Every structure is written in structure tokens, then in C-alpha cells.
Amino acid sequence: MTVVVYKDGILAADRSHSASGNHLYEACKIVRGKECIGAGAGSIVALANFERWVESDMAEPLTNDASEDMLGIAVSSGAVYIVSDGIAVRVPGDHPHVAGSGAEVALGALDMGATAPQAAMIAARRMGCAQYGIDVASVGVPTTRIYAPDGKLNVNTF
């Protein structure tokens, strides 16, 4: 259960780490280097390599076994990258991008005019992990945690 949303220089991600649909722990999924940020969904092995790559400001080689399924979004001051299975592709920074199991819900929210944090919260509520809040960051701006409004943690309370 993961949702990562990028729009207008802002990256937002839920906080639930899970395996096989089971919640394991709660933590910030957004990692940062000095000049870039990123967040991803998928195998924790592949995500560890992706996170090291982001923390090195994309200077360290990005390596993953093709069998390690993951999808991430990395943002620097001048570019946005979609990363899949160890390959980074530069994509248009003026378009929204999504990743994770909540991607379709987030994309629908973006299509209706939501900001990145709003889209991530809507998807987290739909996936049942809004109780942990979402994290929001941009390059050069500290990460902020946003909580769902009281009593608005799942789709039955919209």
C-alpha cells in the first residue's frame, strides 16, 4: 500500500510500509539528498538502492536486479525522473506523476484539480492508511507531515 504523487514541484507520499497487504510499520517514505528528493513503491531491496541513489543526489550508480519490482519518483531542482527496476528516465516536470498501489486514485484526484498533498491524502484514505498521515516535500523545503481531518480516515467518512 503506497501512493507517491508529484505535481508542481511538490512530492507527497503516504507513511504505511507493508508487505503482502499487511501493515508492517509507519515511517516517512520521502528521502532527500542535498539537492534532490524522492519516494518510491515496491520491493524494500530495490527501494534501498533507490534511496541511496537519491541521498547521493543521483551521483551514485542506480543499480537494481531486474527481478526487484519498484517504481519511484525523484526530483531535483532541474529535472523529474521516473525510476523503474533500476532505470531512471527523465520525464516532463510540468506534468503530474504518480506511483504505487494508490496511483490510479491519486491520478483521478489530480485530474479533478487536487494538489499533490490532496491527491495523496485522498488515495491514502481510499487505501485505508490515512491514519498515519502523509509527508509532503519539495527540493530545498523540509518535509512536513499532514494528517487527515479527525473522523475522515477512510472512504466511508468523505
Per-residue model confidence as pLDDT tens digits over 6-35: 999 999 999 887 766 666 778 899 999 999
pLDDT of residue 66: 58
Query: Using 50, 70 and 90 to split pLDDT, how confident is the model at 65?
Result: low
More confident residue, 61 or 149: 61
CB atoms within 10 A of CB 12: 31
Range of the domain at 57: 8-157
Report if residue 2 sits inside a domain: no
pLDDT of residue 119: 96
Distance separating alpha carbons of residues 77 and 148, to the nearest angstrom: 29
Q: How much of the chain exceeds pLDDT 90, in percent?
A: 53
pLDDT of residue 137: 95
Q: Give the SS3 label for residue 41.
A: strand
Report if residue 55 sits inside a domain: yes
pLDDT at 81 over 70: yes
pLDDT of residue 147: 82
Q: Give the SS3 label for residue 67.
A: coil
Report if residue 48 sits inside a domain: yes
When divided into structural domains, the chain yields a total of 1
Q: What is the CATH number of the domain that holds 52?
A: 3.60.20.10
Report if residue 135 sits inside a domain: yes
